Amino acid sequence: MPNTILTTLALATTSLLFVASVSSEGVPVTTGVIPSKIIDVEVVNETPSFIVSPISFENIELAGEAVPINGFGVMENLDRELIVNTYRHSSTILYLKRASRWFPLIERILAEEGIPDDFKYLAVIESGLSQAVSPAGARGFWQFMSKTAPEYGLEVSHTVDERYDVEKSTRAACNYLKESYEKFGSWSLAAASYNMGRAGVSKHLKAQGVDNYWDLHLNSETGRYVYRLLAVKEVLSSPELFGFTLSPSELYSPHDVRLVDVSADISNLSDFALQNGSNLRELKALNPWLRKGYLNVKQGKTYRIYFPNTVTE
């Protein structure tokens, strides 16, 4: 019958189901059990309902640039990333919660720097909006390497690592993306270069004789990179459409902070935090770029340190 598997389980009367037990003397005893009747088990085959790519592919764009959805393999590549990011529930829920805290800051900086708003999702696919550390040593929301960071104004020293400063590293990422866009004239190629590097993208474009991301043959990571960016954009911008319904109370709020300017060495950050009505745990959480229990300040340098707006008793 349709959608039903009728399974008849029968044991011949000559077969025995042996059950091991132990006698009061500790001697194993074997008992034969003969089934009294044939058992019919009905298994209903029900196909579960899933939400799969509930979007109009024809309207997909990145930073105002249309995605050639009818190009060879483009729709299937995007569909794959949509499915992956729709059904990785724990990760996607965390993205949504963290985005409520960090997107307002990132959106403001992107607008100030002239970078399309869609690139806030780049921080999601790079780090999940967390202070991540990659196996290669890239760090922070925007995953800068220690050698690249200073080229974009980020200090990496014994006591300071500004790759962990969300505001400064976002501006650094904007500068990188602006340079990439100036070179390639394409935001999709600029995004790809964030993963592969500008030299790598240029090499592949020249070797393959194409002029866009969608026609490039790339390694798996970069080949999926821009599609993943698009998928995360679709899911996070319309979470209910993909089955994610979170109330405002479930989202993480932006930190309510006050600023303290520091232009001299701090010998003990724990004491410094207590003197400012806070504690080391709060200080480190709000300023993860402080890498030691003290701070060395170069002459003429000023750091802005965040504390909770509410003084800790």
- The pLDDT tens digits for 93-103 are 999 999 999 99
pLDDT at residue 305 above 80?
Answer: yes
Each residue of 53-75: pLDDT tens digit? 566 677 899 999 999 999 999 99
Task: Give me the pLDDT at residue 20, please.
Answer: 36
What is the CA angle 284-295-253, rounded to 5? 25
Per-residue pLDDT averaged across 128-157, rounded?
97
**What is the domain partition of the chain in residue ranges?**
4-44, 57-250, 257-308
Q: By percentage, how much of the chain surpasses pLDDT 70?
A: 81
Q: What is the pLDDT of residues 19-58, one digit of tens each?
A: 333 333 343 444 444 344 444 445 444 444 445 556 667 7
Q: Which CATH number fits domain 57-250: 2.60.40.1120, 2.40.180.10, 1.10.530.10, 1.20.1560.10?
A: 1.10.530.10
Among 6-10, 80-84, 154-158, which is the least confidently predicted range?
Answer: 6-10
pLDDT by residue (tens digit) across 267-292? 999 999 999 999 999 999 999 999 99
* Mean pLDDT, the chain, whole residue set: 86
Q: Residue 87's pLDDT is what?
A: 82
CB 186 within 8 A of CB 212: yes
Q: In whole angstroms, what is the distance from residue 118 CA to residue 111 CA?
A: 11
- Nearest Cα neighbor of 116 from 160, 174, 77 is 174
CB 23 within 8 A of CB 187: no
- The owner of tokens 């399974």 is 7
Q: What is the pLDDT of residue 24?
A: 38
Least confident of 8-12, 93-97, 261-265: 8-12
> What pLDDT was estimated at residue 56?
65
Mean pLDDT to the nearest integer, 162-172? 98
Q: How far is CA 219 from CA 68, 203, 215, 222, in A?
A: 20, 13, 13, 6
User: What percent of the chain is modeled with pLDDT above 90?
Assistant: 76
pLDDT for residue 13: 36
**φ and ψ at residue 101, rounded to 5 degrees:** -85, -45
Question: What are the pLDDT digits (tens) for 198-217?
Answer: 999 999 999 999 999 999 99
